[in-house]
Structure 1
Amino acid sequence: MVQTVTDLVVPILDSKHFELVEVEFVKEGKSWFLRVFIDKEEGIDIEECAWVSEMLSEKLDSIDPDPIPQAYFLEISSPGAERPLKKEKDYEKAVGSFVHLSLYQAVDGEKQYEGILDAVEAETLTLTYRIKTRTKTQTFERKNIAKARLAIQF
């Protein structure tokens, strides 16, 4: 179903030079949510989200049989300041930015790291982070990264 929605929304986004960041279909409590995260270079605004919502709703309603038979809420939004890093170009754009990494397996006893993304290689990411007053640089295997996103530095 995520692929069906992706196939429907990409031409809509392409017509306005918007970027698809992520599509998710999740159950929260008793309700289902179809969330589509979109962006563009200058950032996305509420009117643009509303327009995409209207266009995608029309496309979804026109499909027979209904690809999403259960009731759901459609949400179109910006990925926000803590945008997930999914595609290679997301990682490349994030070099020099403060990021959060969640790992599948602990490295030095930790599964969560935040720091400056220094380098992106085919199989690794290099991050500079602080432990109390010390600065450390660590290279992480990409296959060990469960999730990566931009982060806000406090």
Structure 2
Amino acid sequence: MWDRESIYTVIMPTITTLGYELVGIECHVNHRNSLLRVYIDSDLGITVDDCENVSHQVGALLEIEKPNMGSYTLEVSSPGLDRPLFTKAHYVRFIANDISIMLYEALDGQKKLKGLLKAVLEDEIVIVVTGKDFQIPLSNIRKARLVPKIN
């Protein structure tokens, strides 16, 4: 029912055909009304009309392909300035930027870290937090976002 990878696989071709990049999805499941958040992007940016168009197409597709998802709200959004990072390619793209991450398992007693993304290794990232390098396995990252630059 709510397998993130299978949902991604179902909706990705449609989003690509519509001319957008599927940045990633978040699934927040609860017993009443779950939330499926889909992040899209394009070289031209994302408008409300873009989100509405993708929402209609993806909503109809999911009714056909994943009919047993139960009650949920579909939300289509641009990644925004605090862009979520879902894949290794996202981390590579944003090396030398500040990121904020939440971990599954604590590292040095912390589950939340904020610092400079220094490098991306085979299965890890290197983040610099207050002058100290931390090597963090990608599998330990629950959530990651860019920290917007304030000029």
TM-score (norm 1): 0.77
SS at match of 1:54: helix
Q: 1:137 aligns with which of 127, 132, 139?
A: 132
- Gaps spanning 5+ residues in structure 2: where? none
- Give 1:87 shift: 0.9
Q: CA deviation at 1:30?
A: 3.1
Map of 1:123 onto structure 2:
123
1:25 is matched with 27
Between the aligned residues of both structures, percent identity stands at 31
SS of 1:85's equivalent?
Answer: coil
The root-mean-square deviation of aligned C-alpha atoms, in Å, is 2.6
Alignment match, 2:68: 67
List gaps (5 residues or longer) in structure 1: 131-135
**Aligned-partner Cα distance in 2 for 1:94–1:65:** 33
* C-alpha distance in structure 1 between counterparts of 2:116 and 2:57, whole Å: 38
8 Å CA contact 2:10–2:65 kept in 1: the answer is no
Q: How far has the Cα of 1:20 moved from its partner?
A: 1.5
1:126, 1:137 within 8 Å by CA — same for their partners in 2? no
TM-score scaled to structure 2, two decimals? Answer: 0.78
Q: Residue 80 of structure 1 aligns with which residue? A: 80
**Alpha carbons of structure 1 residues 91 and 31: separation in structure 2 relative to 1, 3 Å:** same
Distance 1:65 1:11, change over 3 A: closer
